């Protein structure tokens, strides 16, 4: 074998050895990084400043306003006397129309149906000063709806159907008694006082 050929083989061998060393170092580094990440994830390794950074991260806090009380001694409003605007706050086509028809079958008077900005909850019932009893009457048709008091005196009630809405509460599960006054949920405020505060949808009272 010539001297030139031997030199070529030596250079190739040295190159392969260097490549093997480089790849070995890279693989070892990746393995160490993986082990470190696993140790941090499982809590077996504390990194300086990590807990402080996590503690400083703000957590969202939902501000819930009190519910407006129904007028003292107010009875459930006859369904035919409650005008409801039904709004679809989802991407489901025809939801407002189908729900409006279901409410109509129960005797409610339907005003308008439309599409509004998205809402993530079940349903949001909004109403003015003269629509409180009507809103409570409509609230009884939903599980998990929220209520939002608005300014103005229009007795018409609006409902925005949200992403979590499936269907109305079964009619036999609606507990309204036309002869029994509406029950004020615990901690509610007189509507006049409630309307003067910042409004944020609040969870519907249990039951």
pLDDT, one tens digit for every residue, the chain (207 residues): 566 666 666 666 666 666 665 566 566 666 665 655 555 444 454 445 434 443 344 433 333 456 688 988 999 999 999 999 999 999 999 999 999 999 999 999 999 999 999 999 999 999 888 999 999 999 999 999 988 888 788 999 999 999 999 999 999 999 999 999 998 877 677 766 765 653 445 555 544
Give the pLDDT of residue 3. 62
The reported pTM is 0.64
Does residue 91 sit in helix, strand or coil?
A: coil
The pLDDT score that the predictor gives to residue 16 is 64
Instruction: List, in sequence order, every residue forming a beta bridge with 146; answer none if it has no partner.
Output: 124, 203
Helices (H), the chain: 3-42, 50-56, 95-106, 132-139, 191-195
Closest CA to 202 of 67, 61, 60, 68: 67
Report the alpha-carbon distance of residue 69 to residue 64 in Å, rounded: 15
User: Token match 């339907």: residue?
Assistant: 110
């Amino acid at each position: 074998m010539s001297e030139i050929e031997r030199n070529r083989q030596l250079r190739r061998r040295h190159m392969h050895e260097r490549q093997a060393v480089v790849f070995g170092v890279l693989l070892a580094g990746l393995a160490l990084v993986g082990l470190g990440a696993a140790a941090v994830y499982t809590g077996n390794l504390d990194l300086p400043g990590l807990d402080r950074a996590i503690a400083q991260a703000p957590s969202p806090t939902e501000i819930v306003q009190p519910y407006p009380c129904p007028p003292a001694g107010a009875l459930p409003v006859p369904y035919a006397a409650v005008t409801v605007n039904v709004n679809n706050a989802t991407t489901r086509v025809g939801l407002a129309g189908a729900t409006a028809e279901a409410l109509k079958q129960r005797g409610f008077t339907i005003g308008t149906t439309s599409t509004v900005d998205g809402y993530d909850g079940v349903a949001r019932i909004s109403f003015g000063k003269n629509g409180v009893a009507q809103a409570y009457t409509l609230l009884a048709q939903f599980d998990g709806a929220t209520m939002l008091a608005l300014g103005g005196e229009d007795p018409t009630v609006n409902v925005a159907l949200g992403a979590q809405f499936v269907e109305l509460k079964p009619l036999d599960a609606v507990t309204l008694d036309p002869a029994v006054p509406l029950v004020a949920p615990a901690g509610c405020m007189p509507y006049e006082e409630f309307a003067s505060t910042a409004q944020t949808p609040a969870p519907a009272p249990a039951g």
